[in-house]
Amino acid sequence: MDSGIKRISPYKVFSMILLVILALLFAFPLYWIVTGAFKTRAAINATTPDWFPQEWVLDNFKTLFSRQMAPLWELGVPFSSHFTKDGNPIIFTAGPVVPAAIRWLVNTVFMTVMAMILTCITASMAGYVLAKKRFRGKTLLFSLIVCAMALPKQVILIPLIREMSALSLYNTLWAIIFPTVGWPFGVFLMKQFSEGIPGEMLEAARIDGASELKTFTKIVVPMVKPGIGALAIFTFINCWNDYFLQLIMLSSTNKLSIALGIAKLQAENSIDYGLIMAGGTLAAVPIIVVFLVFQKYFTQGITMGAVKG
């Protein structure tokens, strides 16, 4: 690193070449999804693969968008399904009719952004308190959080369905949002970041007579901003890709997430690979763009989450 000239050993050359090959192999499935989406049916079904599409067509996207239609959005009255005869919620407004795949994207963006915002607010408050305050029950609470984190998330999902049905949140996007917000990793991460706040600053604010809430918003939040950034992107990607939760919670066509929509598409047309790749592109590309734009925060978040307190 700091020595000016480096000797290049054969091992190094060899491992670099191997690494580049491996990197290409790792990137290949993504390349195959995106190019596959634009290939003609003949190219898709050829026994000799078309390594680079000779002809770029939009047929697959056209098929995808003409399959099912749905309103762009639907705003319902909360809990109204309790009071209607058929158990369907009362709808305030519904958007213009668009291809269902677009609606799935809208659903996915809504639930990920919502989960992200709620997680960032609740976790940064809780993390700050756990890192900087002394209060009764703190040790117990923190050990509960760490234990819950080590458990597999999926085992709680079956009871969660019954709970969501009881709250009549089953088959709504909130059934995805609430459990995502409840997952304690965010609190843990924000505690790690909050440890770095100097106690004197909080003390000074207290002496100046700042209220707890003011101290939090004016001093704590600016100091843990990188943490909030990391948590935001982390929650976004996790929620976007949390297939199991979406699979068991969402069922009607209008409520699907994009990942779930593509999975259903695959189950129904298992051999039209062009169509499925078009769906896969729609599901993967937005999240990859988000990841690439915010990857600095993301890397930081992964690393901080691993440093055990």
Under the binding rule (CB under 8 A), the answer on residue 67 touching another protein is no
Considering only residues 44 through 63, tell me which ones interact with another protein, judged by CB under 8 A: 44-49
- Span of 75-83, 87-95, 192-200, 258-266 interacting with another protein by CB under 8 A: 258-266
Which of 102, 63, 27 lies closest to 273, judged by CA?
63
Between 85 and 134, CB nearer to another protein = 134
- Span of 17-25, 55-63, 71-79, 93-101 interacting with another protein by CB under 8 A: 17-25
Residues 6+ apart with CB under 8 A from 218: 205, 210
Considering only residues 94 through 133, tell me which ones interact with another protein, judged by CB under 8 A: 118, 121-123, 125-126, 128-130, 133
Considering only residues 136 through 155, tell me which ones interact with another protein, judged by CB under 8 A: 136-138, 141, 144-145, 148, 150-155
Under the binding rule (CB under 8 A), the answer on residue 225 touching another protein is no
Under the binding rule (CB under 8 A), the answer on residue 38 touching another protein is no
Of positions 7, 82, 85, 308, contacts another protein by CB under 8 A? 308
Considering only residues 228 through 257, tell me which ones interact with another protein, judged by CB under 8 A: 237, 240-241, 243-244, 247-248
Q: Report the nearest approach of another protein to the CB of residue 31 (Å).
A: 9
Between 71 and 286, CB nearer to another protein = 286
Of positions 36, 89, 99, 227, contacts another protein by CB under 8 A? 36
Q: Report the nearest approach of another protein to the CB of residue 263 (Å).
A: 5
Residues 6+ apart with CB under 8 A from 12: none
Q: What angle do CA 59, 37, 257 make, to 5 degrees?
A: 100
Q: Report the nearest approach of another protein to the CB of residue 39 (Å).
A: 11
Considering only residues 178 through 197, tell me which ones interact with another protein, judged by CB under 8 A: 178-179, 181-184, 187
Under the binding rule (CB under 8 A), the answer on residue 205 touching another protein is no
Under the binding rule (CB under 8 A), the answer on residue 293 touching another protein is no
Of positions 60, 205, 284, 297, contacts another protein by CB under 8 A? 284
> Residue count at the site for another protein (CB under 8 A)?
93
Between 81 and 112, CB nearer to another protein = 112
Report the alpha-carbon distance of residue 92 to residue 62 in Å, rounded. Answer: 31
